[in-house]
Structure 1
Amino acid sequence: MNTVLNKVICFALGCAGISLAQQSPCNEETMDAFAYEDCLAEHNLTVPGAEAKPASDGPRLTVLGAKQPPYSPFNKDAYLTSSFGENRGTRYHAGFDFSTQMEEGWVVYAPENGTVTELSVSPFMYGKLMLFKGESGKTWAFAHQSSFGKLDEMVMAKQYATKKNDVKLKPNVRYKKGDTLTFAGSSGIGNPHLHLEVRLDNDRIINPVLAGTVISDTIAPQIFGAAVWQGNEFATTSAEAFSKGCAVNPVKNEFPLHMAIKIADYSREPKDNPMSIRRIEVWRYDEKVYSKTYDTLSYKKMINIRDELLWAEEADTAGDWHYIGARIAPLSSYRLEVEDFAGHVTTRKFTLHPKCKGNSQLATTQFQTSPLYTFLAKPMIDLFRCESGYTFKAMGSKDATLSEDLCKVFKHKPTLLAKIVETYPDLKAIQYSADAKSTGNGREVDETIAVFPFGKHQTSINWNTKIGDIAVGQKISGIPVGHDSTIRVLAVTRTRTDSVDYLEFHPKGLQFRGKWDVCIENPDNPAPLYWLGETSRNWFIFSKQSSGKKRCASTNELRDIASIQNDEPPTLGFPYWADAMAFGLNQPVLRIPLIYKYDGIPDGNAINVKSGKNWIAAEYDSEPREIVILAEKLPDAGEKINIQIQDEAKHKVSYDITIPEM
């Protein structure tokens, strides 16, 4: 093998025990970082920002150094729609998602000789999940399946024996490498696809490429922007300006600076599914100052995601903000290197400047009504609204006025709330107001932002405040220690909407190793507490909460909260016949839409179907919210079945359904 080709393969696959300096004319150990990069380009090895051919053929190396033969779950090309380590809010994505082109029933083949150790059925999360223990010792998890093939008989037997739709069993059935193992689908959450995980034990998960999994990915990672901050000064740089080697520095020659880079990877055109990346490194001249590789994850340490992928109000736009855990110096030259799971590498050289030519304002928020929001895990105030007529008044202890109009004190741009606290250390609240013309939505606004500064090393908080006539109490434990010198601030405000008035808590993405106990006393609305999904924008009831005028609930992360009185139980739509996978074949099924506004079902066992006294197994398809029943288990057309449902708010309802003609 020639040295150039050897370099390409080793760079893409992470060859163990091979000195790259010995295998290439480009010597990383002796060359300056930029000279090394130019050498790679000269020899057609890694061209900055260019697409590289995925090195997906041939054996792969595990983290233990053992060679693994290539494995394609479908024995054909399948593009990724989600990658390992991707941001899923409160956790990393623990595997790969493979597209099945919106089709159910793609055959999934066994990756090695082994045993099916567990099957489980649920309408949420993994859906129908198979755990397969290979002779290598690894456990392969196949989620969102439509059918377990011949093992469906064992699942159905367990369902009818226990009269439960959601079941778990241990088949201990052997399969050989290449056998038909299971069938991909859309059970649980999402469109038809295969979710594949590779587990070393009950806690450790590895990048499936390290176990030999072949992926189709034709596009190199993309960089969408950069952010730099020091203390309470903050600046962003657009992708265009950053690509020209410039990053905006908000302060003059101060050290250290902190940085985050917004990155996404795509597997193909059209770019519908932004994914995460495998590796990110930053070099200062020839010194590597930061390196993070997502080849292993721990279920127990999923909370670390909030320290590495910083939460932003535009969380469901393309890309994640990766925090660069290094002390960035202002008068240095840097090289950023980003690699995806197929081995494509994108690089950027950059230096820091007070301004960057061609820089444009990055969007830092989405779906936001109030001027308070979160960007990069820090609460922000959108003082650009001063331009449209908003006023902001700073209040201190005992309602003392600290500033009649913050628009006259600060620049009219998105500003760290910590910056205002730095200027007014006694700040307790900000009152903001605007007339209907200024808000642009036809309604005037007059609200309060309650503010609570706390120390970098403070790990617990007990804060009571009021928003109008609503009393808000928060007890927090297990707060992570701050990783920079920004003043840390909690804030809460009320947002009035046409459908639901709710309380916003910031900074979003503040996840606790303890818990967040929040109590709301609203004299005008003592209804149950619901929390808002950050990207779905749907409301979900707290399953455990106190009752009465003072409502209290617990979780481990700040959430937006509303008091919602919902007395409407789910209803059923018109039943219709369709096909679905069972026993590895397409089978006729009756599908019955489940209709609700706020309260869905907590699990599949909340649905009970009977024909007379006979219990019938039913699957709940959470997307598109339909009850699915095998035709062979139903009575004849014209006869009735009874469906009993208990939703998340404990509403119980019963419906009789007439079986339609097929």
Structure 2
Amino acid sequence: MFPTRFAILLSVLFCLLSVHAVYAQNAPTEFLTDSVTYIWPTDASRYLSSTFAETRSAHLHSGIDIRTWGREGYKVFAARDGYVYRIGMGPSGYGNVIYLRHADGSFTVYAHLNRFEPDLQAYADSIRLIDYRFELDHYPRQQQIYYKQGDVIGFSGSTGVGPPHLHFEIRSPDYTPINPLLSNLSVADNLPPVFSRLAVEYLDSGTLHRTGHSVIPVRNENGAYHFGEITVSGPAGLAVNVHDRANRTPNVYAVHSLVLVSESDTLFKATADYFSFANGNNMFLDRSYPILSQTRRGYQRLYKVSANRLPFYSKSVNEGVLDLPEGTHELQIVARDIYGNESTAGLTVRSTASVDKPLSDGVYIPAYPSFEFQNPYPLYRWDTDFKRLSNLLLASSSSGLSVTTQASSQPVLVSAERMSARKTIAPGEYDILHTPNQKLWLQFSEASLFDSLDVKVSISENPASGDLSVAFSPTDLPLQQPVILNMILPDNMRNQDGLALYEIDHNRDRESFIPSRVSGGVLRAGLTRIRDLRLDRDNRAPWTGTPSFKKNLAGQHILVIPTVDRDSGINYRKSTILINGERGIIEYDPDRDWLIYYHPEFTPDASNEITYEVFDGVGNSRTGSATLRAPQ
């Protein structure tokens, strides 16, 4: 017998209610009940240097940073009873870190530690000494190591990223980072947020692609903020540069919520309570990435790019995009911190556009610019180095290159023939963009892009300098996951040592080394951003200073070798140090530029023979030796 329509409707309704109930039961913040209490995780201070969801280089900040006054070695406490779920050590990211799991399945995280408490440090060292490896990412056997609330679990430091501070996180049972100030933890704060600047991002009336922006400074009259009057002739989005403050500290923080209001109607609201790590790099969409890249300031958008998956946005009209009828409109931007302190900034918008077809809530706002906004930079960079200038001038007379100079001290621009390819790449699909001669190809995974991207890549060899350049149009774009670059090297580069790939940051006029590998004449590298590239040679060995004995915070002897390589960085994994012929764990501190010999049982002899070999990122090395007497 077939069920009646009424029974079917009841069944569907029951399923929907069940789904809603499951979702509600698994809300990331649900575990933060009144019975869940934390203690402050360090004796360093009760002041913050950073708070939750702040702008970082490639993601949102997933916790709070507690000030340690530029010092290391403050006690770090277990904020709740829990067992050690995971420990990690290394020179980047979280550095030395402890993850505790609690009875309700939630987690706390303690990062950038100088070292762990003695028993846990001995446990970690015993694992590292198996193969003398610096890095550690280890999950102890369940409930093998247990701490009570208030137990000392480590000591504050600056590992991973400086300066010294304690990074502390609360994560839900499903590993979602939660704003720690939603718990019983708090700081003294009765100060309202402060507005600095407003950006108006202009959008194409047909496609809503971003076409440019202007920045407006705020006027502050006795705490009353106003951005004056702007004129728009089509759709636009606002992005605000605003920060929070707290009592008795000079640091500035991200605000907790932003609201855009027009004549009492809420056009947009965002609140930063939690986000998943899978979407942490959506920071590039929540903030205006073009402005962030140019200014290093995080302008938080008051509209939502369609590819943005962050859970911050509770209300919007037209996704927050302004598409106003002709006339004058008064807007208000309200910024609040987590304690309810708030500031309001006014804005007058004069619209000169007659809106025939108003936007709807189903509007799609692209994450990437249209192809019309091409790369404004030449394939070869301007170079004012006199030695290179001389080489280029000499090469021009014999190779036929076009070299243009106005004076001997002026930059030169070398033009070379390019090989180009253009394609539209869609997200959610594996795709390859390659040049016509198949000598360069880019592999886009299903998760590489936030949105569809119409992109052109050009490659050219510079006979004068011997390097290769790769240019993109448009350029300087964020990626969700890396794109794999593959390049068949010219014959004259295949057997050369020291090949180094550099990412070009035109906004800051600097280059950054990208690790790559060469196999069978093909260079491969992972690109974390779409940026112009240069392939050159690094034939300089690292610089090394005089080795010396020091003591760490535990009073153990270590050997320190100052070492610097500004071209391709230090390869600490490949570098070696022997003391009296004995191996140790080779650690690296990139902030101090130290290569460190560490062994928990090392004690210097009266006379100690030191031998070392330090490698850079492309294989250049410097060897050395020294005889050191035991420190007094």
* TM-score scaled by length of structure 2: 0.69
Question: Where in structure 1 are there 5+ consecutive unaligned residues?
Answer: 1-60, 356-374, 384-431
State the 1:441 CA deviation: 7.1
Q: Does residue 345 of the first structure (1) align with residue 345 of the second (2)?
A: no
Equivalent residue number for residue 31 of structure 1: none
Q: Does residue 223 of the first structure (1) align with residue 196 of the second (2)?
A: yes
Equivalent residue number for residue 159 of structure 1: 128
What is the identity, as a one-letter code, of the residue corresponding to 1:349? G
State the 1:144 CA deviation: 1.0
State the 1:310 CA deviation: 2.5
Question: Where in structure 2 are there 5+ consecutive unaligned residues?
Answer: 1-27, 205-209, 305-319, 353-366, 377-401
Change beyond 3 A, Cα 1:71–1:377: farther
- What are the equivalent positions in structure 2 for 1:20-39 lying under 5 Å apart? none
2:67 corresponds to which of 75, 95, 99: 99
Identical positions, percent:
18
What is the identity, as a one-letter code, of the residue corresponding to 2:334? E
1:310·1:377 contact (CA, 8 Å) conserved in 2? no
Change beyond 3 A, Cα 1:163–1:337: same
Q: Does residue 181 of the first structure (1) align with residue 153 of the second (2)?
A: yes
2:375·2:475 contact (CA, 8 Å) conserved in 1? no
Alignment partners' CA distance in 1, 2:559 and 2:296: 38
Equivalent residue number for residue 591 of structure 1: 560
Cα offsets for 1:167-216 (capped at 9, x unmatched): 34427322221222211001122111111122224641111112333346
1:285 corresponds to which of 253, 260, 263: 263
Cα offsets for 1:221-268 (capped at 9, x unmatched): 4332222312165441312369424353442xx3x4333323344557
1:275·1:319 contact (CA, 8 Å) conserved in 2? no
2:530 corresponds to which of 553, 558, 564: 558
Change beyond 3 A, Cα 1:552–1:613: closer
- What are the equivalent positions in structure 2 for 1:59-70 lying under 5 Å apart? 62-64=29-31, 66-67=33-34, 68-69=36-37
Alignment partners' CA distance in 2, 1:278 and 1:495: 49
Alignment partners' CA distance in 2, 1:97 and 1:500: 42
Q: Does residue 312 of the first structure (1) align with residue 290 of the second (2)?
A: yes
Equivalent residue number for residue 333 of structure 1: 330
Higher relative contact order (CA 8 A, sep 6+): 1
Alignment partners' CA distance in 2, 1:456 and 1:263: 34
1:532·1:560 contact (CA, 8 Å) conserved in 2? yes
Alignment partners' CA distance in 2, 1:71 and 1:249: 51
- What are the equivalent positions in structure 2 for 1:392-403 lying under 5 Å apart? none
Alignment partners' CA distance in 2, 1:617 and 1:108: 25
Alignment partners' CA distance in 2, 1:229 and 1:290: 17
Alignment partners' CA distance in 2, 1:235 and 1:619: 45
1:525·1:563 contact (CA, 8 Å) conserved in 2? no
State the 1:161 CA deviation: 3.5
Alignment partners' CA distance in 2, 1:133 and 1:339: 32
What is the identity, as a one-letter code, of the residue corresponding to 1:86? E
State the 1:658 CA deviation: 2.3
Secondary structure at 2:278 match in 1: helix
Equivalent residue number for residue 276 of structure 1: 254
Q: Does residue 240 of the first structure (1) align with residue 240 of the second (2)?
A: no
Change beyond 3 A, Cα 1:158–1:453: closer
What is the identity, as a one-letter code, of the residue corresponding to 1:346? S
Change beyond 3 A, Cα 1:442–1:344: farther
What is the identity, as a one-letter code, of the residue corresponding to 1:207? N
Alignment partners' CA distance in 1, 2:609 and 2:443: 52
Change beyond 3 A, Cα 1:462–1:121: closer
Equivalent residue number for residue 635 of structure 1: 604
Q: Does residue 322 of the first structure (1) align with residue 300 of the second (2)?
A: yes
Change beyond 3 A, Cα 1:456–1:339: farther
Equivalent residue number for residue 543 of structure 1: 516
Q: Does residue 567 of the first structure (1) align with residue 543 of the second (2)?
A: no
- What are the equivalent positions in structure 2 for 1:162-561 lying under 5 Å apart? 162-169=131-138, 170=140, 172-201=144-173, 203-215=175-187, 220-231=193-204, 233-240=211-218, 243-246=225-228, 248-251=230-233, 254=234, 256-265=235-244, 275-312=253-290, 315=293, 317=295, 319-323=297-301, 324-325=303-304, 326-331=320-325, 332-341=329-338, 343-353=340-350, 436=406, 442-445=410-413, 454=424, 473-474=441-442, 476=444, 478=446, 480=449, 503-505=470-472, 506-512=474-480, 515-517=483-485, 519=487, 528-532=499-503, 537=510, 539-546=512-519, 548=521, 551-561=523-533
Cα offsets for 1:305-342 (capped at 9, x unmatched): 22222223653846312232223133543221223345
State the 1:84 CA deviation: 2.0
Q: Does residue 144 of the first structure (1) align with residue 112 of the second (2)?
A: yes
1:616 corresponds to which of 576, 584, 587: 584
Q: RMSD over aligned Cα, in angstroms?
A: 4.4
The alignment covers a number of residue pairs equal to 521
1:278·1:340 contact (CA, 8 Å) conserved in 2? yes
Change beyond 3 A, Cα 1:472–1:607: closer
Secondary structure at 2:347 match in 1: strand
Change beyond 3 A, Cα 1:347–1:641: same
Change beyond 3 A, Cα 1:277–1:523: farther
Cα offsets for 1:510-539 (capped at 9, x unmatched): 314573535476688777352338689553
Secondary structure at 1:263 match in 2: strand
Equivalent residue number for residue 53 of structure 2: 85
Cα offsets for 1:380-426 (capped at 9, x unmatched): 6899xxxxxxxxxxxxxxxxxxxxxxxxxxxxxxxxxxxxxxxxxxx
1:71 corresponds to which of 17, 34, 39: 39
Secondary structure at 1:102 match in 2: coil
State the 1:142 CA deviation: 0.8
State the 1:102 CA deviation: 0.7
Q: Mean alpha-carbon deviation: is it higher for 324-333 or for 648-657? A: 648-657
Alignment partners' CA distance in 2, 1:165 and 1:457: 37
1:226·1:247 contact (CA, 8 Å) conserved in 2? no
Alignment partners' CA distance in 2, 1:66 and 1:223: 36
State the 1:460 CA deviation: 7.5
Change beyond 3 A, Cα 1:85–1:642: same
- What are the equivalent positions in structure 2 for 1:641-652 lying under 5 Å apart? 641-651=610-620
Alignment partners' CA distance in 2, 1:470 and 1:313: 35
